[in-house]
Amino acid sequence: MREFDDLIESENLTFKIAPEPDGSREIYIDDEAVDISWNWLGKNAEALKNENPDCIWTVLDCDGELYVTNGRHYVNRMFYMVSNEPYQGEMEDFIY
C-alpha cells in the first residue's frame, strides 16, 4: 500500500482550502500553514455537494490506523480533503 504523500508528489496534487477548516491537516504554502481538512458539517457540507466527486478524498480511521481513499465515504471518516485535480486511477487506499 502506497503512502498518500507519495501519491501527492507523483500526481502533483494540490488541495483546496476548506470554507471552515477544522485543523486536521495542514500543508505549507510559501512557508505558511494552510488547513485543507473539510469536516462534514455546516458550510463544508454544502460546499462538498458542489465539488467534483473525483476530487474528494476521505481520511478514515480503521482500528487506530489512518488511511486515505478517493471518493466520499461515510463509515469511519475523520474528515475530507478536496484536490484541485481529479484522481484518474482506480479506487485505492493509501496510508495517511
Encode burial over 38-67: b for 16+ CB neighbours within 10 A, e otherwise: bbeeeebeeebeeeeeebbbbbbeeeeeeb
Domain ranges of the chain: 4-95
State yes or no: pLDDT of 93 exceeds 90.
no
Whether the full predicted model's pTM is greater than 0.85, yes or no, is: no
pLDDT digits (tens, 9 = 90+) for 72-91: 999 999 888 899 999 887 77
Grid coordinates belonging to 14: 494540490
Q: H-helix or E-strand containing 49?
A: helix 42-49
pLDDT digits (tens, 9 = 90+) for 6-56: 888 888 888 888 887 766 677 766 677 677 777 877 788 888 899 999 999
Give strand pairing partners of 68: 59, 94
